[in-house]
Amino acid sequence: MKKLLVLISILLINITVHAQSNDNEHVYEVWDDRPAQNRGADYGISIPGRGFPFDADWEGQSYPIGNGFMGANIFGRTDTERIQITEKTLANEDPYRRGGLTNFAEIYLDINHHSPQNYKRSLNLNEGILYVNYTQDGVTYTREYLASYPDNIIAVKLSASEKGKISFTLSADIPYLRSVNESNTRTGDTHAENDLITLAGNIAYFSLNYEAQVKVINDGGELFAENDNQNAEIRVVNANSVVLLINAGTNYELTQNLFLEETKTLKLDKTVFPHEKVSERIRMAAVKGYDAIKESHNKDYQKLFSRVAVSLSPEVPNVPTRVLLENYKQGNTQPYLEALIFQFGRFLLISSSRKGAMPTGLQGVWSQYEVTPWSGGYWHNINVQMNYWGAFSTNLAETFDPYLEYYEAYRPVAEVNATEYVRRNNPDALDANGENGWAIGTGASAYAISSPGGHSGPGTGGFTTKLFWDRYEFTRDTAFLRDIAYPTLLSMSKFLSKTLKPAEDGLLLVDPSASPEIRLKDESGAFRGEYYITTGTTFDQGFIWETYNDLLKAADILNADDEFLNVARDQINRLDPILIGASGQVKEYREENQYGEIGDPLHRHISHLCPLFPGTLINSNTPDWLQAASVTLDYRGNNATGWGLAHRMTLRARTKDAEKTYEVFSTLLKEKTAPNLWTIHPPFQIDANLGLVSGLSEMLLQSHEGFIEILPALPVAWKTGSFSGLVARGNFEIAAQWDDMKAGSMSITSKSGGKCTLKYPNIRRARITNASGDRMNFVRESKDVISFETVKGEMYFVSIRR
């Protein structure tokens, strides 16, 4: 009888945790009951980051899809549909002259339905497919849009409830052929022939050849291809259904030589054209057919997306997302919207960062601009790191692979940059044999990287390698640790050691050092003066500590032996990275006394708290530092950019102040979120969308302190809920259910085996069983902490007694 009761208990736990968290219970859908407006771009609007032109409807109303290589923004119109295409490697001169993302193509469907009824456009996040449905003159029309990673194709299907009702004119434009900047001038032609429109040309700045193709596959009806005065179009008349296949490419090749070559026009081989590979992708997709493309897309996409479910409310409001957000901004906060934007962020990461493609940048894989703000590139003083913070905890570790491929390509020039940096700033530390590690500065693109210096110190390198260590921590991939993460940490540590100079009391301080983007006041009193350069900022000192700490842990795991490890063991204790000031704050600068003495006290960056998140130096074992971090967050406030709020959200979660964390999250939704749920700096930047993914995950699950803690920052607004599929360090996959603010049950899947340590109030009274119903013995570390040994691949159930 006792055994039966245990088995029943396990069954109930399993049903409760997984049923309440199942994605099938919640269809995550971004939708509207009207098309996006398309009033066009406005050159008269000044955009931060020196981008142009601004298109408010593209930014705030269109819905994005993507497959890592390409992105499309869909307007869902019934008169003239607009499909804007981006491809990550198409670049021109940006303000920083490293190459910036730019609009690839504009595709239009003149459908001429002007009085639609029962209209709905919906981005189904569970499927990664966008739908448009409406009725015109008694006929129901449906459009489906998907971006398939397996086939590297964007596919659109148009169908109707009656045969012979699909008629439209397809046209495609190459944007910005007439540039306002001579260096950005692109050449190109558009041509229609039979069932294919081809756009091809060149951007001279990088000797970049580009081509896009749109193929029309009709069931019934007729096609007519026409070319007139550079206008190429295909008319579709009375078809039963139509499939459009879209592909775009360039002569870009991610190689080490591309980064080592300094002459921009020699970075690419101008004799190579993308015609063959684009044509082959279109041909293969046409042979495969839409249904098979959709099936392979579903299998690939859902393998990633469906791993995690979050339910913060049983209610799914039946109002357009735009209205839901408007109501939220008026104070009607809705947990469903909070879970929705979390899953939307995961959708964006899957859509913009896949192996074989470039990493996700400031705008993911979406840009309608001629010159994208801040180039749309990879900014290493927080933005690119923020893009990937949530990849590991929300079960999407594979999406970090593009950055690893990017890193392998730029690594040789990063080594050159490290040597030059040390020669310039600390020549006494220069290694004559060139063993000076590697270095990365703030700005980077698909074509070039920068060196440390200027407004951000060398800690940007340690900020970056933290991602490498986290990938190991969450996956326990020992081969990755041995072959990639450890050598990367070792080399970065060697470089960072050469940025240190002896100071009084035996300390070692970074010199020169900067806390990212902090300026002094100018003559008018505004913070537009010179960047503040000093010695030993918390940002730089903290990330040397983090990098050394990660290196030494990796070395212990691998039993590695390198002479430099002794250097790291000595220097890590001489960094003095965290200091508390007279205001009770974590100092940003060693010379700081009261909070805000140096630089803007409300600055968007809060770099001196990076040792709290994504670092681990500040934690509950350093209560004075943790309290000082909370004080600092209070002083800094929430008047920040979108990504600035996302960082504050993760930081607040680490302090475990649930209500203040929730306040930041709500502010991000209310003040920095567009109707299509894109987050804005402003303008649109994807980093806040992806950063809040990490922030919400940290509210529900933390594992950086040597134990797994569920619901560490649970706000009252989420009184009842559940999650499944979140990942803790050690590669434990966690599901949990709570009611009235108290956890009732958990399941833990041990993906790599090893000891599992759990923290929750009074968890010492819990019952733990394995999948067979056998009760597990565990060690009571304290009243709130227990630990037990796990077997790789096994699932364990925890019933928490109240």
Residues 382 and 511 in one domain: yes
In the predicted structure, residue 8 carries a pLDDT above the cut 50 = no
Phi first, then psi: what are they for 783, rounded to 5°? -65, -20
Instruction: Give domain status of residue 19, yes or no.
Output: no
Band (15; pLDDT cuts 50, 70, 90): very low
Instruction: Give domain status of residue 607, yes or no.
Output: no
Burial of 647 (0-12, 13-18, 19+ CB in 10 A): buried
* pLDDT of res. 146: 98
Integer-rounded Cα radius of gyration of the chain: 27
In the predicted structure, residue 507 carries a pLDDT above the cut 80 = yes
C-beta of residue 237 within 8 angstroms of C-beta of residue 226: no
In the predicted structure, residue 3 carries a pLDDT above the cut 60 = no
Cis peptide before 64 (omega within 30 of 0): no
Residues 431 and 530 in one domain: yes
* pLDDT of res. 315: 86
Band (61; pLDDT cuts 50, 70, 90): very high
Share of the chain above pLDDT 70, in %: 97
What is the mean predicted confidence (pLDDT) over 735-741?
A: 97
Band (19; pLDDT cuts 50, 70, 90): very low
* pLDDT of res. 10: 42
Residues 432 and 357 in one domain: yes
Band (228; pLDDT cuts 50, 70, 90): confident
pLDDT digits (tens, 9 = 90+) for 641-673: 999 999 999 999 999 999 999 999 999 999 999
Sign of CA dihedral 287, 290, 294, 297: positive
Domain span at residue 731? Answer: 2-13+718-799
Residue tagged 């996006």 (tokens): 36
Residue tagged 């300026």 (tokens): 519
Lowest-confidence segment of 8-17, 239-248, 744-753, 777-786 by average pLDDT? 8-17
C-beta of residue 90 within 8 angstroms of C-beta of residue 250: yes
In the predicted structure, residue 472 carries a pLDDT above the cut 60 = yes
The CATH number of the domain where 508 resides is what?
1.50.10.10
Number of compact structural domains in the chain: 3
Share of the chain above pLDDT 90, in %: 93
Between the alpha carbon of residue 324 and those of residues 317, 692, 775, the distances in Å are 8, 18, 46
* pLDDT of res. 21: 41
* pLDDT of res. 27: 85
Which domain-ending residue is among 600, 625, 653? 600
In the predicted structure, residue 495 carries a pLDDT above the cut 80 = yes
The CATH number of the domain where 788 resides is what?
2.60.40.1180
The 3-state DSSP class for residue 394 equals coil
pLDDT digits (tens, 9 = 90+) for 426-461: 999 999 888 999 999 999 999 999 999 989 999 999
Residues 62 and 8 in one domain: no
Instruction: Give domain status of residue 330, yes or no.
Output: no
What is the mean predicted confidence (pLDDT) over 556-580?
A: 97
* pLDDT of res. 180: 78
Residues 517 and 553 in one domain: yes
Residue 769 has a CB neighbour count (10 Å cut-off) of 19
Look over the chain and give the mean of its residue pLDDT values, rounded to a whole number: 95
C-beta of residue 221 within 8 angstroms of C-beta of residue 240: yes
The CATH number of the domain where 95 resides is what?
2.70.98.50
Residues 44 and 9 in one domain: no
Which domain-ending residue is among 582, 600, 618? 600
Distinct helix (H) and strand (E) counts, the chain: 18, 31
C-beta of residue 795 within 8 angstroms of C-beta of residue 747: yes
* pLDDT of res. 185: 87
What is the mean predicted confidence (pLDDT) over 186-198?
A: 97
* pLDDT of res. 492: 98
What is the mean predicted confidence (pLDDT) over 227-254?
A: 95
pLDDT digits (tens, 9 = 90+) for 268-321: 999 999 999 999 999 999 999 999 999 999 999 999 999 999 999 888 899 999
Residue tagged 């940490």 (tokens): 489
Residue tagged 């339910």 (tokens): 311
Contacts of 634 (CB under 8 A, 6+ apart): none
C-alpha to C-alpha distance for 605 and 625, rounded to whole angstroms: 19
Which domain-ending residue is among 289, 306, 323? 306
Phi first, then psi: what are they for 513, rounded to 5°? -140, 150
In the predicted structure, residue 20 carries a pLDDT above the cut 60 = no
- Write the DSSP assignment of 74-86 as a string of letters: E---SSEEEEEEE
Lowest-confidence segment of 77-86, 389-398, 522-531 by average pLDDT? 522-531
In the predicted structure, residue 70 carries a pLDDT above the cut 50 = yes
Lowest-confidence segment of 330-334, 459-463, 730-734, 785-789 by average pLDDT? 330-334
Residues 220 and 90 in one domain: yes
In the predicted structure, residue 755 carries a pLDDT above the cut 90 = yes
- Write the DSSP assignment of 625-655 as a string of letters: HHHHHHHHHHHH-S---HHHHHHHHHHHHHH
Residues 103 and 200 in one domain: yes
C-alpha to C-alpha distance for 232 and 98, rounded to whole angstroms: 33
* pLDDT of res. 17: 45
Instruction: Give domain status of residue 700, yes or no.
Output: no
C-alpha to C-alpha distance for 234 and 223, rounded to whole angstroms: 7
Q: What is the dihedral of CA 327, 724, 466, 407, to 10 degrees?
A: -90
What is the mean predicted confidence (pLDDT) over 497-506?
A: 96
Q: Which of 60, 146, 75 is nearest to 109 (CA)?
A: 75
Residues 42 and 8 in one domain: no
In the predicted structure, residue 749 carries a pLDDT above the cut 90 = yes
Residues 470 and 558 in one domain: yes
C-alpha to C-alpha distance for 121 and 133, rounded to whole angstroms: 6
Residues 98 and 174 in one domain: yes
The 3-state DSSP class for residue 718 equals helix
Identity (one letter) of the amino acid at 662?
Y
Instruction: Give domain status of residue 608, yes or no.
Output: no
Residue 264 carries which DSSP code? G
Strands 166-173 and 153-160: unpaired
C-alpha to C-alpha distance for 309 and 725, rounded to whole angstroms: 7
What is the mean predicted confidence (pLDDT) over 238-256?
A: 98
What is the mean predicted confidence (pLDDT) over 532-552?
A: 98
Instruction: Give domain status of residue 273, yes or no.
Output: yes
Instruction: Give domain status of residue 516, yes or no.
Output: yes
Instruction: Give domain status of residue 591, yes or no.
Output: yes
Residue 195 has a CB neighbour count (10 Å cut-off) of 17
pLDDT digits (tens, 9 = 90+) for 677-687: 999 999 999 99
In the predicted structure, residue 14 carries a pLDDT above the cut 50 = no
* pLDDT of res. 231: 85
Residues 292 and 416 in one domain: no
Element (H, E) at 303: helix 290-305
pLDDT digits (tens, 9 = 90+) for 673-720: 999 999 999 999 999 999 999 999 999 999 999 999 999 999 999 999
Band (25; pLDDT cuts 50, 70, 90): low
C-alpha to C-alpha distance for 197 and 172, rounded to whole angstroms: 7
pLDDT digits (tens, 9 = 90+) for 769-794: 999 999 999 999 999 999 999 999 99
C-alpha to C-alpha distance for 156 and 195, rounded to whole angstroms: 15
In the predicted structure, residue 103 carries a pLDDT above the cut 80 = yes
In the predicted structure, residue 264 carries a pLDDT above the cut 70 = yes
